[in-house]
Amino acid sequence: MARRRPPERDPLAGAPGAGATLGEWLGFAEALYGSEGLALGQVSADAHDEALYLILCALGLPLGSGPEVLDRRPSPRDRSALRAVLRRRVVGRTPAAYITGEAWLGGLRFLVDRRVIIPRSYFVEIIAGLRGSPARIADVCTGSGCLAILLARRFPGAAVDAIDLSGPALEVARMNVRAHRLSRRVILHRSDVFDAVPARRYDLIICNPPYEPSAVCDALAPEFLSEPRLALDGGADGLDIIRKLLRQATALLAPRGRLLIEVGGLRAAMDREFAALGLRWLPTEDGADCVCLVRGEDLRRAAQRVRS
Ligand SMILES: C[S@@+](CC[C@H](N)C(=O)[O-])C[C@H]1O[C@@H](n2cnc3c(N)ncnc32)[C@H](O)[C@@H]1O
């Protein structure tokens, strides 16, 4: 006799009923983040903040709503919208940004979907602190185009080449560049690092490459597995794209130009392998300090030493 499958547990079975306030919905959602082991870090590192963001988006309420919004009692239609959103996040393990179709970085809104990684780069801090007036900039591994757009706004006189190997990611980047009215200054290139980009001399090159070692990518939480593998996987030791970038940038970076690379947990590996470059690590608010700076003249000096 066929055995009956046990009934599936529904994490939303205890959802607040009629008469409950949004504050109660928020408490319920926040508890689910803990009990269901949802992964954080793509939209916010904090379950309260992410759950509130999802609730406000689901009901079309302003993200800047004050605490009084939590006293509202959702209508039956609102309640089914809240249940639908929570089901996608909790049962489907869909990242919040893919549910809302947007991500915020540096106060700007970017369109996102599964074609691109969700913007969360440390470069948002670094770009805000950059000085000088670079005329030509490259953003290698541009993804959604978020950093190229932040750079173009930070340096209104600059032309920015935004480069990615992924055609689907570049479709999203194109939408963002248009939405921010920067199509004349941010030029998109489909290329493996600089392979297919016309040779130019850059004053500034930035790159937030895929830098996770492949084995780390295999074991990621479902939320991170929803992101394109190409955006995360940096090869066996995480350094594949970085090595290629450093090789190519030697000929492309102006002598006084700057190359900035975000490397996640690879700081020690970078210092070991590229000791000759005298990498400088830029401070970030949370102390991760995982963005390094290399000068054009240091790249060239190190390359000459290898040749001689
Ligand atoms: C970590 S994501 C960064 C995206 C974006 N800059 C950000 O900070 O949100 C890395 C990006 O590199 C792209 N990529 C991977 N390999 C590449 C390669 N060989 N050449 C150019 N881009 C590549 C991926 O498609 C992905 O969009």
Q: Tokens representing 151?
A: 């750079």
Q: Kindly state the helix (H) or strand (E) to which residue 105 belongs, with its residue range.
A: strand 102-105
Question: Distance between CA atoms of 142 and 160, rounded to whole angstroms?
Answer: 11
pLDDT above 70 covers a percentage of the chain that reads 99
Pocket test for ligand 1, best of 102, 112, 114, 165 (most atoms within 8 A of CB): 165
Using pLDDT thresholds of 50, 70 and 90, give the confidence band for residue 3.
Answer: confident
Indicate which residue's Cα is closest to atom 8 of ligand 1.
Answer: 121
Pocket test for ligand 1, best of 230, 246, 260 (most atoms within 8 A of CB): 230
What is the per-residue pLDDT for 6?
Answer: 72
Average pLDDT over residues 51-74: 97
Q: Could you say which of 3.30.450.20, 3.40.50.150, 3.10.20.30, 1.10.10.10 is the CATH number of the domain covering 114-307? A: 3.40.50.150
DSSP 211-234: -B-HHHHHT--HHHHTS-HHHHB-
> pLDDT at residue 111 above 60?
yes
Which residue's structure tokens are 């479709």?
Answer: 171
Which residue's structure tokens are 């560049």?
Answer: 177
- Domain residue limits, the chain: 22-100, 114-307
Question: In the chain, how long is the greatest CA-to-CA distance?
Answer: 79
> pLDDT at residue 109 above 90?
yes
Ligand 1: distance of its center to the CA of 235 in Å?
A: 13
pLDDT above 90 covers a percentage of the chain that reads 95
Question: Distance between CA atoms of 56 and 58, rounded to whole angstroms?
Answer: 6
What is the per-residue pLDDT for 5?
Answer: 75
Using pLDDT thresholds of 50, 70 and 90, give the confidence band for residue 305.
Answer: confident
Is 269:253 a contact under the CB 8 Å cutoff? no
| Residue (of 276, 228, 231, 243) closest to 121 by Cα position | 231
What is the per-residue pLDDT for 198?
Answer: 97
Average pLDDT over residues 268-275: 97
Ligand 1: distance of its center to the CA of 212 in Å?
A: 12
Give CA separation, 92 vs 159, 169, 291, in Å. Answer: 41, 23, 33
> pLDDT at residue 192 above 80?
yes
> pLDDT at residue 107 above 80?
yes
Ligand 1 binding pocket, CB closer than 6 Å: 117, 119, 121, 141-144, 146-147, 163-166, 169, 192-193, 208-210, 230-231, 241
The amino acid occupying position 180 is H
> pLDDT at residue 1 above 60?
no
pLDDT, tens digit (0-9, with 9 covering 90-100), for 217-241: 999 999 999 999 999 999 999 999 9
Rounded to 5 degrees, what are φ and ψ at 258? -120, 140
Ligand 1: distance of its center to the CA of 22 in Å?
A: 38
Using pLDDT thresholds of 50, 70 and 90, give the confidence band for residue 9.
Answer: confident
Ligand 1: distance of its center to the CA of 142 in Å?
A: 6
The amino acid occupying position 242 is I
> pLDDT at residue 188 above 80?
yes
Average pLDDT over residues 16-42: 97
Ligand 1: distance of its center to the CA of 180 in Å?
A: 20
What is the per-residue pLDDT for 100?
Answer: 98
Indicate which residue's Cα is closest to atom 27 of ligand 1.
Answer: 143
Average pLDDT over residues 164-182: 98
| Residue (of 165, 123, 175) closest to 147 by Cα position | 123
Atom of ligand 1 nearest to the CA of 139: 6
Atom of ligand 1 nearest to the CA of 211: 1
Average pLDDT over residues 277-287: 96
Average pLDDT, the chain: 96
What is the per-residue pLDDT for 308?
Answer: 67
Question: Distance between CA atoms of 116 and 118, rounded to whole angstroms?
Answer: 6
Average pLDDT over residues 55-84: 97
pLDDT, tens digit (0-9, with 9 covering 90-100), for 240-249: 999 999 999 9
Average pLDDT over residues 53-71: 97
Average pLDDT over residues 52-74: 97
| Residue (of 23, 79, 32, 82) closest to 54 by Cα position | 82
